[in-house]
Amino acid sequence: QVHLVESGGGLVQAGGSLRLSCAASGGTFSGNAMGWFRQAPGKEREFVATISASGSFTYCADSVKGRFTISRDNAKNTVYLQMNSLKPEDTAVYYCAARGKGGTSSWPVDYDYWGQGTQVTVSS
């Protein structure tokens, strides 16, 4: 099974940047499409970005397009989410997820493994 641990969250002012990391262990990381999701209090889990196993294909939610970038380093078994120009509405717990099979997806139900989440708070 795949174990995922997110890190890099914190408190940042609007307009600032953060880079989240997701370290994977177990399974075969290089063979898994990965995704980032977020969940704010009282709201359902929301798609943020996804990346193919090779890293060749990515897709981001319209709400973060042009500001967030997903990437991966398979040699380090790590996926990243670079977040720039942060807004207060980006405040949420951010989760890393891995698919057991299949490619990039924006749907939480397609993912088989999840990290514990890391809090991102953007102040206005």
The H or E element containing residue 93 is: strand 92-98
Task: Kindly tell me if the per-residue pLDDT of 123 is higher than 90.
Answer: yes
How far is Cα 34 from Cα 91, in angstroms, rounded to an integer?
A: 21
Query: Do the beta carbons of residue 94 and residue 20 sit within 8 Å?
Result: yes
Strand partners, 35: 50, 97
What is the average per-residue pLDDT within 80-93? 98
pLDDT confidence of residue 1: 82
> What are 21-68's pLDDT values in tens digits?
999 998 777 889 999 999 999 999 999 999 999 999 999 999 999 999
How far is Cα 88 from Cα 21, in angstroms, rounded to an integer?
A: 21
